[in-house]
Chains A and B, each alone.
Chain A
Amino acid sequence: MPLEQNHIANFLKDKDNSNPRYKSELFNLLRDRIDELCEICSKDRIRNVLNPMCHHRFLLGLRLLNGLGIEDQPEFCYDVHKDIVFRDFRNKTVIYKPNDAYLYLIDFFDNFFHGGYRRLNLLFAKKDFKVVKKIFDDRINNRDENFQYKLTDDENFMVFKYDEKIHVIFINENYALCNATREYVKDLELLFGLCKLFARIYFPEIKLKLIPNNCIEIKTIIPKETLQKISSTEPTDEDSKRDKYIWNVFPSELDTLSQFSNEINIYLDKKKDLAIRLHIGIESEAILNRPKRFLLRYRDLRLVFNIIYRLYNDFYILHI
Chain B
Amino acid sequence: MSDKDQENPEITKIKDFVKDGRIDDAVKIIALYLGDSTQDDYTERLEDIIEMLLLLHGGQTVLRFLIEQLVIDIPSLLENLSKRDSVLRYNFLLLVKTMCEQECSILLPYSEDLLSSEDPNVREAVLQLIIFMAGGENKIDDESLIGKISNTLTDEKEFVVEKAVQALQVIGRNNPSLVTKIITLKVKEYPENDELKNVVDIVLKSIVTVEKIDELVEDSEKKEITDKDLIEKEEAEIIDKELELKKKEIEIKKKKLELEEKEKEIEKKIIQEKEKTLKLKEEIIEQESKEESDLVQISDEIPKKVKKKLMKEEFEILDKEILLKKKDLEIKKKKLELEFKEREIEELAITEKEKNLKLKEELIEKESELSQVEIELQKKKIEEKERKILEGELERAKEKIENLEKESEDGED
Contacts and interface: CB of A to CB of B under 8 A. Distances in A.
Interface of A: 43-46, 49-50, 76, 79-80, 83-84, 86-87, 90-95
Contacts of A92: 2, 51, 88
Interface residues of B, number: 22
A49 B51 contact: no
Contact of B86 (A45, A91, A94): A45
Contacts of B2: 90-92
Contacts of A45: 86, 90, 124, 159, 162
Contacts of A87: 85, 87-88
A87 to B, nearest CB: 6
Interface string B1-40: 1111000000000000000000000000000000000000
Contact of A91 (B3, B55, B94, B158): B3
A107 to B, nearest CB: 13
Contacts of A50: 90-91, 94
A87 B87 CA distance: 9
B368 to A, nearest CB: 92
Contact of A49 (B3, B54, B90, B163): B90
Nearest to B86: A49
Max count, chain A CB within 10 A of own CB: residue among B54, B86, B94 = B86
Contacts of B284: none
A273 B166 CA distance: 72
A43 B162 CA distance: 7
A75 to B, nearest CB: 11
Sort A-B residue pairs by CB-CB distance and give the 8 closest, nearest first. A91-B2, A83-B85, A49-B90, A45-B159, A43-B162, A46-B90, A49-B86, A93-B51
A86 B85 contact: yes
Contact of B91 (A44, A76, A90, A93): A93
Interface of B: 1-4, 51, 54-55, 85-88, 90-91, 93-94, 124, 128, 158-159, 162-163, 166
Given A46-B93, A90-B2, A92-B2, A83 B86 contact: yes
Nearest to B2: A91
B48 to A, nearest CB: 10
Nearest to A86: B85
Contacts of B87: 49, 80, 83-84, 87, 93-95
Nearest to A46: B90
Q: Which of B2, B87, B124, B128 has the most CB of A within 10 A?
A: B87
B124 A93 contact: no
A56 to B, nearest CB: 14
B130 to A, nearest CB: 13
Nearest to B124: A45
Contacts of B88: 87, 92-93
Residue of B2, B54, B85 contacting most chain A CB atoms (<10 Å): B85
Contacts of B162: 43-45
Contacts of A80: 85-87
A79 B121 CA distance: 15
Contacts of A90: 2
Nearest to B162: A43
A92 B52 CA distance: 10
Given A91-B3, A93-B91, A43 B55 contact: no
Contacts of B1: 91
B57 to A, nearest CB: 15
16 contacts: A44-B166, A76-B86, A76-B159, A80-B85, A83-B87, A87-B85, A87-B87, A91-B1, A91-B4, A92-B2, A92-B51, A93-B51, A93-B54, A93-B55, A95-B87, A95-B91
Contacts of A94: 87
Contacts of B90: 45-46, 49-50
Nearest to B48: A92
B364 to A, nearest CB: 87
Given A49-B87, A91-B2, 11 more contacts: A45-B90, A45-B162, A46-B128, A50-B94, A80-B87, A83-B85, A87-B88, A91-B4, A92-B2, A92-B51, A93-B87
Nearest to A84: B87
Nearest to A43: B162
A79 B3 contact: no
Given A46-B93, A46-B128, A91-B1, A79 B51 contact: no
Nearest to B90: A49
B125 to A, nearest CB: 9
A8 to B, nearest CB: 32
Contacts of B86: 45, 49, 76, 79-80, 83
